[in-house]
Amino acid sequence: MNNNLIISKSCKITNNTIIVNDKLLFENNNVPYNVFIKNAYKKYINNYPKFFKMDNLSKLGIIAVELLSDEFKSIDGKEIGVVLVNSASSLDADQTFQKTIVKDNYFPSPSVFVYTLPNIVIGEICIKHKIYGESSFFVSQNFDSTFIYNIVCDLFSRQGINTAIVGWLDFIDNDYLASLCIIKKISQQNLNYNEMINFTIENLNKTINKDI
Amino acid sequence: MDELIKNLKKEIIEALNLEDVKAEDIDTEAPLFNEGLGLDSIDALELIVLIEKKHGIKIQSADEGKQILYSVKTIAEFIIKNKK
């Protein structure tokens, strides 16, 4: 167990709902994903037109991280890392791009093509929040809490990082789940951090994995 | 020309996902890049695809592209000049 690290905040987005720290924050039932995510954008961001050019996965990540951003607003971007995992990679964008390269209608879309890698969402998050720390994106069938715990501990020990955005971010066939959290390094004087959850494999698993 | 400009504005809004921008918000003669709509290099590529896909005209070189994509008016003039 790493005694200096805590899970300070979590955000889940799935099935037209946004849950922050286990509390329902936003709900938009009976609308398709594009309407739901646009309404979430209007409510929580609304001043970043580049959002509308993004693919579904990036939009999901941008909204989830926005709702966690008060945890790292005052931190130097060089000290923030990102570790994300999913199982569908960028398949949603890949399929959209494939539709632009069919035999009798061959017009490859550059703006779709740029999203045909899963780690592009990390780029979008980092551009928006001016994050310059180490980042990684893993593609795996499941969220392996032990593996990610070790990756995050390594990130904190070697890279001068004191905050990390960590979790699961997946979008495929209109099925989506963002389950992200903020991991923070705390000093002894901040031990009474509000609603403190120690960063352990078990707590990471409980925070990220319960809906996957 | 007026009808083409009107349609071009609608096509640009749709192709570039310019949410909350209406056709009447786009100044026909204003630069599309940097100022104006603040488009970027990926948008430029998307506009080249749009001109080829919707109007059947290929832009041949990057230098030519810069001048053609300067504004909605320059795009419309290029289409009229090259329409078969």
For residue A1, the model assigns a pLDDT of 57
Query: Using CB atoms, which residue from B17, B42, B53 is nearest to A107?
Result: B53
Residue B43 has pLDDT above 60, yes or no: yes
Res. A187 pLDDT band, cuts 50 70 90: confident
Residue B38 confidence (pLDDT) above 90: no
Output the average pLDDT for chain A.
94
Task: Give A-chain residues touching B43 at CB under 8 angstroms.
Answer: 111
Q: Which domains does chain A have, with CATH numbers?
A: 5-89+116-209 (3.40.47.10)
Strands (E), chain A: 5-14, 17-20, 23-27, 80-86, 101-102, 105-106, 135-139, 163-172, 175-185, 197-198
Q: How far apart are CA A24 and CA A17, in angstroms?
A: 7
Is the CB of A107 less than 8 angstroms away from the CB of B52? yes
Q: What percent of chain B has pLDDT over 90?
A: 81
How many CA atoms, within 13 angstroms, populate the side-chain half-sphere of residue A18?
A: 22
Distance of CA A40 to the CA centre of its chain: 15
- Chosen for mutation from A111, A115, A124 (greatest number of chain B CBs closer than 10 Å) is A111
Chain B residue at shortest CA distance from A109: B46
Per-residue pLDDT, averaged over A93-111, amounts to: 94
Q: Which pLDDT value is given to residue B35? A: 76
A196 band by pLDDT with thresholds 50, 70 and 90: confident
Lowest pLDDT segment from A126-140, B12-26, B29-43, B48-62: B29-43
CB A185 within 8 A of CB A3: no
Residue B28 has pLDDT above 80, yes or no: yes
Count of domains observed in chain B: 1
Check pLDDT > 70 for residue A191.
no
Category of A167 on φ-ψ map: left (φ > 0), alpha (ψ -120 to 50) or beta: left
Closest to A165 (Cα-Cα) out of A72, A39, A87, A26: A72
User: So what's the pLDDT on residue A211?
Assistant: 59
Q: So what's the pLDDT on residue B62?
A: 84
As for the ipTM of the complex, it is: 0.86
pLDDT band, very low/low/confident/very high, at A110 (cuts 50, 70, 90): very high
Q: What is the mean pLDDT of residues B62-78?
A: 94
Q: How far is A188 from chain B (nearest CA, A)?
A: 47
pLDDT at A192 over 80: no
For residue A189, pLDDT beyond 90? no
**pLDDT > 90? residue B8:** yes
Q: Which two tokens stand for residue A187?
A: 């000093």
CATH number, domain containing residue B29: 1.10.1200.10
Record the tokens describing residue A2, joined without a space: 């790493």
Highest mean pLDDT: which of A126-130, A208-212, B33-37, B64-68? A126-130
Residues of B in contact with A38 (CB under 8 A): 19
Q: Which domain holds residue B27?
A: 2-82
Q: Pull the structure tokens for residue A113.
A: 């093509």
Burial B11-22 (b: 16+ CB within 10 A, else e): bbbebbbbeebe
For residue A161 the two structure tokens come to 């990082």
Query: For the whole model, what pTM was predicted?
Result: 0.93
Q: Which of A52, A57, A15 is nearest to A32 (CA)?
A: A15
Q: Cβ(A5)–Cβ(A17) under 8 Å?
A: no
What's the pLDDT at A190?
61
Worst-scoring range by mean pLDDT, A47-51, A79-83, A114-118, A145-149? A47-51
Percent of chain A scored above 70 by pLDDT?
93
Q: How confident is the model at residue A80 (pLDDT cuts 50, 70, 90)?
A: very high
Compute the average pLDDT of residues B58-67.
Answer: 90
Res B60 pLDDT > 80: yes
What does the pLDDT read at residue A142? 95
- DSSP letter assigned to residue A57: H
